[in-house]
Amino acid sequence: MLTVGSLEIAHPFTQAALSGYTDLPMRRVARRHGAAYALGQMVLGTTVTHASDWQRRLLHVPADDHPVGAQLLGGEPHEFGPAARALADAGYDVIDINFGCPVHKVLRRRRGGWLLADPPAALDIVQRVLDAVGGDRPVTVKMRRGLDDSAESERRFFTILEGVFERGVAAVTVHGRTVKQRYAGRSDWEFLRRVKRHVGDRVVLGSGDLHRATDAVTMLRVTGVDGVSLARGAIGNPWIFRECLALWTGRALPPLPSPAELRETLLLHFREAVAFYGPRDGGMIMRRHAMKYSRLHPCPRKVREALIAMKEPDAFAAVLDAWFAPDGS
């Protein structure tokens, strides 16, 4: 059991927010395969508060998409409170604040990981979100271990970490890489262990280098964090959640999905994407997801080539028929 404020989550293996991926279709597929808690894609506060087709999709939280968190990104503190309130009113169970995104265009706008260099601004944002929703929704924060490896960067990290907990944040997710590292090099799990020891019984989730179920379970045991946030390791592999649960409860690791199982899940994901985005957009968005699924196929390179050659969304069914036969062949 993982407890985040008033929210009880069945197990410690959670679906991270992933820009361009963790929309409603992906979350539904992840839940079907064992994810007990999922975050949506990170969104700008201005996107939440300005009318658009995407805003309407974002603010629709169906009954089967719980518990679910919304992750807010931005650089202007005054934008966070109204956006957080709108997301809470829409039905999101948790409001998560992103202080970790390392993408250059985000950093240039003083958003995401850039805020780790400015503790007063970061803590102002947290307070505004807490003031807006803290009474009836848990608020959480996503961080990296600093902008870089300098002592000053680490000092600022701990200033923000202590400050958010003092203000009433329910949990913090810490990625073991710096912003400067982006996705290169190793995630520093020893740093995660230090963070958990530093905050005691306050809730910390770990992130970084969780590509397999064995990684997730090892992180829990080695670092002492309360939960793990599965990011890139869950793209195209929702089975990772059932694998984590099996290892965590002492059961044997389930076999890899067969082509027939891959087909069944791809069809589910495809139907969800088309229902959410419409036939054309849903079909083309699904190609990106399917390329990730192809890594689990016995012939991943050939499947990927077939998906790249896809010019129309209707061709997706033909790729499935050619490479993911219903009988598993």
Active-site residues, by number, are 101
Distances (CA, A) of 120 to 40, 145, 146, 329: 27, 17, 15, 58
- Residue appearing with tokens 């169906």: 62
DSSP 295: G
CA angle 9, 14, 20 (to 5 degrees): 135
Identity of the residue numbered 272: E
The secondary structure of 222-261, three-state, reads HHCCCEEEECHHHCCCCCHHHHHHHHHCCCCCCCCCCHHH
CA angle 101, 105, 109 (to 5 degrees): 85
Q: How far apart are CA 140 and CA 134, in angstroms?
A: 10
Structure tokens at 52: 């658009």
Q: How far apart are CA 169 and CA 69, in angstroms?
A: 14
Sign for the pseudo-dihedral over CA of 7, 10, 13, 17: negative
Judge contact between 143 and 174, C-beta under 8 A.
yes
Structure tokens at 69: 């968190």
How many Cβ atoms from other residues are within 10 Å of residue 65's Cβ? 17
Crossing angle for the helix pair 315-323 and 300-308, to the nearest 10 degrees: 160
- Residue 236 CB contacts under 8 Å (≥ 6 apart), including other chains: 289, 290, 291, 292, 293, 294, 295, 296
Total length of the chain: 329
